[in-house]
Amino acid sequence: MDINFFKTKNYNLFDQIPDAVVIVDKSNFKITYWNKKAKEYLGFINKNIVGKDVSLILTSEIVEIITNTQKNYNQIISLPVSDKDKIYLEISVLNEEGNDNIILCLRNVSQRQEIFDNFIQEYKRLSKIDKNKNLFFTNASNDIKSPLQSIIGFSQALLDGIGGELSEKQYKYLSIISKNSNNLLDLMTNIIDLSAIDVDKFNIDEKHFDVIEMLNSLLEVFNDKITEKNLELEVEFVDIIKRNIYTDENIFRKLIINLLSNAIKFTDSGTIAIKAFHPDTEFLKYQCVRIPKGFSDNSFLMFSIVDTGIGIEENNLNIIFDEYANFEKNYLNKKYGGTGLSLSISRKLAEKLNGVIWVESEPGKGSSFNFIIPIEKQSEHEDFSLDKVDPSTSLAELQW
């Protein structure tokens, strides 16, 4: 850059723009020019500082930016103007290769920053209110659920004949009480679970456990539901290297239960399939999974719960894990029951396990709910060794 050109012709143009401009000699970091707005922002209005070292008028933070920047650069900094007040400046450094000077532009963004700061303060205030609300639900969980459990227990006992034979009308009314009490308990349980996750009441307890043994015991719980709906269950493990995995077993179990319950609920005929395999590195990156140092493909497991149920409309796929999305929940809840919150909980549980979750679906053709979680202990990666899964054993063990 030929500074003499600006001296003779264009310096007056810099005085017309609303931003501060400081030109610094790249060889010795001395000021060769600054405009009126720079004098206003930085002081020294009545002093001539051309030829002085740039550190005379700029803070050490800005000087460090200039001296260490080898290319163009943008950043917002705060600059004190008194003991109590400060202004926010958006600093742009133009440091082009081959030019003898560095151009420093400073724009006052205090008003914009003030709006942003107010927004952040309001966000923090509302977050605190929301956290307090969630904490209330979590702490009051027993007080909320105990009366419902009592109603459910006594109504079921009466239905079972503990109080004597019931008339047809009495049986009908008690059945309604029992059904709606159970629905209300499911709703309260899901709300409390959501609240507990949001206030970090779900403590992470990672350990090693046998994933096949855990799934085997879990599937026994769903045997009656699957048989009742005449559904077929398929279990497939594809080239699983690690059978003993490291994660939070309780959270993992609850995640599988939520997704499996959802699949069974919305499938009237056909098949429920559980698939597990090690995703390759490229797929992990595609799903934006963070890969810790030393981890390989075998350090992660992907689980898919696939059903042949009603499916999901394409425009609802991106919001199905949102607890505040309505789409067709009212219609589905009336037909199939439930709260519509289990998938929202599932997303939060997957995140608790440092995993990702997503869904693939087509209306009338079923859905595939998928999640990927790390299954190794990061801090002891090199010492972590697990048994290889025998493909024939994995399927044989998963029998009722």
Which CATH number is 114-198 given? 1.10.287
DSSP character string of 65-121: HHHH-SS-EEEEEEEESSSS-EEEEEEEEE--TT-SEEEEEEEE-HHHHHHHHHHHH
Distance of alpha carbon 377 from alpha carbon 380, whole angstroms = 6
Q: Do domains 114-198 and 206-397 have the same CATH topology?
A: no
Residue 131: CB atoms within 10 Å: 14
Which of these, 191, 204, 190, 184, lies nearest to 133 by C-alpha position? 191
Which of these, 116, 45, 119, 107, lies nearest to 79 by C-alpha position? 107
Domain ranges of the chain: 3-108, 114-198, 206-397
* Three-state DSSP state, 246: strand
Q: What is the pLDDT along the chain (400 residues), one digit of tens a residue?
A: 454 544 444 556 677 777 888 888 888 888 888 888 877 776 665 567 788 887 776 667 667 766 666 666 777 777 666 666 777 878 888 877 777 888 888 888 888 878 888 888 888 887 777 777 777 766 777 777 888 888 889 898 988 888 888 888 999 999 999 888 888 887 777 777 777 777 666 678 899 999 988 888 888 888 888 988 999 999 888 777 778 899 999 999 999 999 999 999 899 999 999 999 999 989 998 888 888 888 888 899 999 999 999 998 888 888 888 876 654 454 455 555 555 688 888 999 999 999 999 999 999 899 999 999 999 987 644 433 334 444 433 333 443 3
Give me the pLDDT at residue 396, please: 36
Give me the pLDDT at residue 304, please: 95
- Dihedrals phi, psi of 321, to nearest 5 degrees: -90, 5
Which CATH number is 3-108 given? 3.30.450.20
Which structure tokens are listed for 272? 């429920």
Which residue reads 């007040």 in tokens? Answer: 85
Give me the pLDDT at residue 145, please: 80
CATH superfamily, with its number, for domain 206-397:
Histidine kinase-like ATPase, C-terminal domain (3.30.565.10)
Question: Amino acid identity, residue 236?
Answer: E
